[in-house]
Amino acid sequence: MKRILLVLGFIFVINSLISQNFNYNLQSYYAGGVIQYWTDDSTSLNIIVKNMENYGAIVDNLHLLFSNSTDEILADDEDDNIIINSLSLPLIHKDALIAAISINSDDIAFFSYSKLIENEHIWLRNEVLIKLKNNTFFQSIIQPILQNYDIVSVNDEGDNEYSIICKTETDVITLSNLLYDTSLVIY
């Protein structure tokens, strides 16, 4: 009987550890009314450039760092983001990479590793786009919620639509899911 209890206890502990590890790496968001789960892919990232005057120099610095034939840098100076795909990325700490590619300390607005959903990549931006069911919800409910987050700006796009710019990936994900869960938003 003791052996059975020990084996069951051991199985319970192992199962708990596996579940904790799995949940730690798994995150989610809503798309089309359905919860979508992803895992981070540290071999691909999206950088949002804040100071567009230095965009070209930042891309040049990235080409110096990621010069392997398998490395890929997707940049278009018509947009503020740069996508990097490299097997070397997991070896470089985020802060070290930002310091190495930046011209000024305020050049980079956002940094996010890509997400894998069913082997497809998605890249987050620092922006939460919402359309409210009723415009009065913004002043009375949404604005007080935003005080709990590190928000760069809130832009009224008209027709009950708002663009909320966040500083961190955590704030983008948490705020997006929270606002969706309130049932006050259309999207």
- Sorted by where each begins, the domain ranges of the chain are 40-122, 126-181
- CATH top-level class for 40-122? alpha beta
Q: What is the pLDDT of residues 103-143, one digit of tens each?
A: 998 899 999 999 998 889 989 999 999 999 887 778 888 88
**DSSP conformational letter for 54:** G
Percent of the chain predicted with pLDDT > 70: 86
Mean pLDDT is lowest, of 6-10, 47-51, 73-77, 183-187, for 6-10
Mean pLDDT of 143-172: 91
Mean pLDDT within 145-173: 91
* Buried residues in 43-67 as b, exposed as e (16+ CB within 10 A): ebbbbbbbbeebbeebbebbeebbe
